[in-house]
Amino acid sequence: MIRIAIANQKGGVGKTTTAINMATAMAATGWKTLLIDLDPQGNASTGTGIDSRQRELSSYDVLLGEATVAEAVVPSSIPGLDVLPATVDLSGAEIELVDFEDRAGRLRRALAGHVGHDVCFIDCPPSLGLLTLNALTAADTLLVPLQCEFFALEGLSQLLQTVEKVQQVFNPDLGIVGVALTMFDRRNRLTDQVSEDVRGCLGNLVFESVIPRNVRLSEAPSHGLPALIYDHSCAGSRAYMALARELISRLPEKRKAA
Ligand SMILES: Nc1ncnc2c1ncn2[C@@H]1O[C@H](COP(=O)(O)OP(=O)(O)OP(=O)(O)O)[C@@H](O)[C@H]1O
Ligand SMILES: [Mg+2]
């Protein structure tokens, strides 16, 4: 299983929207896909229609070693897409995990030997705490959603420093598959300027596909559906399909056969 973390410590930049719709796009392309909700807000779980009865076991139990991934995973209504849901319990995990010697490697250990899925996306909370550290330690690669705002690049350099530390200490194989520009608004000159700066700075690391600001993307979660299912032809959904194609083209050859 290829493991893709979706992280950015900045809040509200489109991590969860990207995780849900990339996971849906991959599932639609025939990949058996797992969406891991590692945020106590549980937005990825709600946004894929997982109700509270389906969250008896959650990512919290998996991190604490009280359930296996296979036991806690639930199917979504989307064919080929399963979810490891999150509950508010997870907010306590940051503290409870401190007692474990391998506190940053709990998710990695839980995913080792997991079978039944070709790819997983890990939706991270908006911080660089122990939950995100577990995601980066477990992941093969990182996808960074970036909102084209004035402070975007500063936040990004902090994230890249964290990635370097994780590579040195916990996970030397961690790569960065790309940076995705989100909530892009062509009418806003600042957006254009920041996007130019980001591309100037990071070059090909930035995906060509850009996710536009699109109201359908923000409506979909209230229906418990990925935008790709709620309205597959809206500009946001089309952009996520294009991003998924680009992502697949960047994955190592042997994994693409799935
Ligand atoms: N391209 C977009 N166009 C319009 N609205 C969007 C877009 N992407 C996300 N949103 C909306 O913006 C809000 C924040 O998005 P999202 O929840 O994906 O960000 P996040 O980075 O996961 O947030 P958090 O840091 O709180 O986990 C949500 O209400 C979402 O529906
Ligand atoms: Mg989120």
122-147 pLDDT per residue, tens: 999 999 999 999 999 999 999 999 99
d(CA 130, CA 176): 19
Q: What angle do CA 108, 30, 57 make, to 5 degrees?
A: 40
Please tell me the distance between residue 254's alpha carbon and the centre of ligand 2 in angstroms: 30
- Reported as a single tens digit per residue, the pLDDT across 179-215 is 999 999 988 888 888 899 999 999 999 999 999 999 9
Average of pLDDT values for 103-113?
96
Average of pLDDT values for 50-75?
96
Q: Which ligand is nearest to the CA of 180?
A: 1
Protein residues with CB under 6 Å of any ligand 1 atom = 11-17, 39, 41, 43, 126, 182-183, 211, 213-214, 217-218, 221, 236
Q: Which ligand is nearest to the CA of 234?
A: 1
- Residue ranges making up the domain that contains 205: 2-256
Query: From the CB of residue 200, how many other CB atoms can be counted at a distance below 10 Å?
Result: 9
Q: What are phi and psi of 7, to 5 degrees?
A: -140, 150
CATH code of 223's domain: 3.40.50.300
Q: Residue of the nearest CA to atom 11 in ligand 1?
A: 218
Number of domains the chain contains: 1
Q: Retrieve residue 6's tokens.
A: 């979706």
Q: In what order do the strands lie in the sheet with 141-147?
A: 74-75, 81-84, 33-37, 119-123, 2-6, 141-147, 175-182
Instruction: State which ligand 1 atom lies nearest to the alpha carbon of 145.
Output: 21
